[in-house]
Every structure is written in C-alpha cells, then in structure tokens.
Structure 1
Amino acid sequence: MAEVDASESQPVQTQTSAVPAEGYDKKCIFCKVVNNEMGTELLHCDEEISCFRDIKPGAPHHYLVVPNRHVGNCKSLTKEHVPLVNRMVEAGKEILQKNNITDLSDVRFGFHWPPFCSVTHLHLHVLAPASQMGFFPSRLIYRLNSYWFITADQLIELLNSKEETN
C-alpha cells in the first residue's frame, strides 16, 4: 500500500507545485507531499505530475506518481482521464530511466483497486525490477489479475470502454 516517510529525506527541489486551491484536499497526505508540506523528496515535479519514493518499497525501485491536483481513486475516473493516466505512466518511465532502469519488460505499473487503497488520491505504483519483488507482501499486494491491483494498461482499457459522461 502507498505510504510516505515525511522524516526520511529533504526535498531536492525548491520548486513548489502550483496546485490550485480547488485541486487541493487539506486532509490528503499526497496533496501535502506535492505541496512540499511533508519534507518528502520529490524526484519529479512539473505542472501536472509529481513523483516520490514509496515508504515501504515492494521492489528495489518503487515510486509513486501522482497528479498534483487531487484526483480520487481509479474507480472515480472517466474516459477524460486517459491522458492523465498516460502522462503518469510516462513520468514513471522517465524516473526509471533516470535511475538506469531500461528493461521495461521487468517493470510493474499499476494502481490499487478500491477499496484496497490506503490513500484515495490517485497514485501509480512503479515497481522495478518486478522479478526482484519478494513474495510477501510485494508479489501479493501488487499481484497481476487480482481483485485489488490493476495495471495501468488495464485501467486505460477500462476507461476507454466507458461511455462519455455529459
């Protein structure tokens, strides 16, 4: 599950994300992280997306990619969110490349499916190398084709199959 260690590291960036007031949930830990209120090191931060390490890594490289604006869990998404999910995956790939992970066939990109989310702010788990995840809890928690974890590709396919909302 997603957790953040506020005491472990200091931000390497002095840039604060420009999160509009309407896109900020003051009770959400990830909203606080992207606004540099927790002291968590942001490995990537742009106008739309931020990335940081998971406090309880399930693999040697375990990152969380989140939208800077508060977005609910993956069940709350619509077809209009597909570009956001794609951007989150691209940011995850960029972080992996910066950390010399080039074999994307041994990477897991995915989301916990509600109600199996510890934080309701949308967050993509980026785990690499997936082959080095331990059985428990990592392989169980981030298990493919389970009731509690959906890959980014599966989520995009699901969203694309939804009817447009008016």
Structure 2
Amino acid sequence: MDCLFCSIINKEIPSDIIYEDEFVIAINDINPQAPVHFLIIPKKHIKSLNQLEDSDLRFITHIAKLIPKLAKEFDLNEGYRVVNNCGDLGGQTVDHIHFHVLGKRQMLWPPG
C-alpha cells in the first residue's frame, strides 16, 4: 500500500507530531490554512467516511472526544472548524480518512 499517512504513522516520513496514542496520530498540516491547522488521523487505514464499518466507529468516537481536548491545548476557546473531505469532489487528496482542525482566525461561509 502506498499511503502518505500510513508512512507518517509508521514513522517512515517525518512530520510534526502534536499528539499520538494507540488509535490516532495528530500532526500539524504542512500547508496550513489557518494559524492553527492540524490533522487527526486514525492509525487504521480507512480510505474515507464511505468505507467506515461498524467496527471503525470507535476511531470516530475517539477522534470526536480528542478534538475538544486538543482545541483547548491550542487555545481555540473562541472557536474552530473541523473538516473532513470525502472523495475527489469533496477535496480529499489523501485516501486515508482524516480530520482537519483549523482555528485562530475567522472562518468564512461558504468555505469554497
């Protein structure tokens, strides 16, 4: 399998890791779109939301609980945005499910 995020998880490619546990890794985005912009990536390779199985829901629950914790650590008390791109038209560029957390600036709508 040739997956950028799996290579990062396996420490084959260096990255700026801000959090890691047995289920996920969180890294700063290499092309930040906000003053704070990090990704939360499950360690299990799941292509996208469309490929989630019932057994994978524990990863999503874990991520949902982790996001506010990391947001607090990064002082995103005034608000933040969580983004998941799904499929080509949704803007997904890496075929491994991940969630962007962006903050420290006003988020606009529609996002584009």
- TM-score of the superposition, structure 2-length normalised? 0.83
Equivalent residue in structure 2 for 1:55, among 6, 30, 33: 30
- The answer to which structure, 1 or 2, has the higher relative contact order (CA under 8 A, 6+ apart) is 2
Larger proportion of helix:
1
The Cα of 1:53 is off from its aligned counterpart by: 0.8
CA-to-aligned-CA distance 1:68-121 (integer Å, 9 cap, x gap): 121111111134433321211322222222222223xx2111210212310001
Contact preservation (8 Å) 1:63, 1:92: no
Give identity over the alignment, percent: 22
Equivalent residue in structure 2 for 1:102, among 77, 90, 105: 77
Segments of 5+ residues of structure 1 without an aligned counterpart are 1-24, 141-166
Q: Alignment RMSD, CA only? A: 2.1
Count of matched residue positions in the alignment of Structure 1 and Structure 2: 110
CA distance, structure 1, for counterparts of residue 23 and residue 87 of structure 2: 23
Q: Does 1:82 align with 2:63?
A: no
- Which protein has the larger Cα radius of gyration, Structure 1 or Structure 2? 1
Contact preservation (8 Å) 1:65, 1:88: yes
Larger proportion of strand:
2
SS, match of residue 131 in structure 1: coil
